[in-house]
């Protein structure tokens, strides 16, 4: 799948197109690649093109798209989902074609991918368990702190009520 960024990528330098020109084969490249050359080999069509004295014509529409930064536009969540699905499909086709080219290597690659997937899942579960255990320890410390606090309050109230009773008895003894 050709993404928006790939469309605006120069086939020579793999950078974002800059002051792009149009070759006779309709490929668009950065003008800087033709400035010091009399002939240029197109990376797409593999043909050699003679550079005209006045240079190749500018690709005005692509230059305009680059100016307005069309490549940075956000096309919404649905576009992102479709883009991801297309990338997955491309990967599936790549795997399929590799399998057809070298069928004897497929089982090895398959099991390597399975081992990698298992390792990733194991690591994910390990991190989840560590996080869960950490939260449990925090909850235990909080509970312990609350219990100690309640125990201290109960002891304080018990001592306070004992002192109140002792004071009342002392006051009663003074009155008699």
**Contacting residues for 20 by C-beta, under 8 A, at least 6 apart:** 10, 28, 29, 30, 31, 58, 59, 62, 63, 66
∠ CA 29-33-38, rounded to 5°? 115
How does pLDDT run across 100-122, given as a tens digit for each residue?
888 888 888 889 999 999 999 99
What span, in angstroms and rounded, lies between the C-alpha atoms of 57 and 62?
Answer: 12
The confidence score (pLDDT) of residue 4 equals 66
* CA distance linking residue 70 with residue 162, whole number of Å: 81
When the pLDDT of each residue in the chain is averaged and rounded to a whole number, the result is 84
Beta bridge partners of 48: 41
100, 66 Cβ separation under 8 angstroms: no
pLDDT given at position 124: 97
d(CA 17, CA 23): 14
pLDDT per residue over 78-91, tens digit each?
Answer: 888 988 998 999 99
Beta bridge partners of 138: none
- Of 90 and 154, which is predicted with more confidence? 90
- pLDDT score of 1 more than 60: no
Return d(Cα 153, Cα 161) in angstroms, integer: 12
Task: Give the span between the Cα atoms of 8 and 60, in whole angstroms.
Answer: 13
Report in angstroms the alpha-carbon separations of 173 from 42, 97, 164. 114, 103, 14
Q: Which alpha helices (H) appear in 8-105, and where do they start and end?
A: 60-67, 77-101
């Amino acid at each position: 799948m050709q993404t928006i960024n790939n469309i605006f990528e120069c086939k020579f330098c793999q950078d974002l197109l800059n002051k792009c020109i149009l070759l006779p084969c309709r490929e668009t490249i950065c003008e800087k690649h033709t400035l010091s050359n009399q002939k240029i080999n197109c990376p797409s069509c593999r043909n050699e093109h003679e550079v005209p004295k006045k240079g190749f014509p500018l690709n005005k529409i692509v230059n305009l798209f680059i100016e307005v930064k069309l490549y940075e536009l956000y096309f919404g969540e649905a576009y992102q989902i479709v883009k991801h699905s297309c990338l997955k499909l491309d990967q599936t086709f790549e795997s399929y074609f590799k399998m057809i080219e070298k069928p004897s290597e497929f089982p090895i690659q398959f099991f390597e991918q399975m081992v990698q997937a298992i390792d990733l899942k194991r690591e994910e579960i390990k991190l989840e368990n560590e996080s869960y255990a950490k939260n449990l320890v925090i909850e235990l410390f909080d509970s312990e702190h609350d219990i100690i606090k309640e125990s201290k309050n109960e002891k304080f109230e018990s001592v306070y009520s004992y002192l109140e009773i002792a004071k009342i008895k002392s006051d009663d003894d003074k009155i008699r």
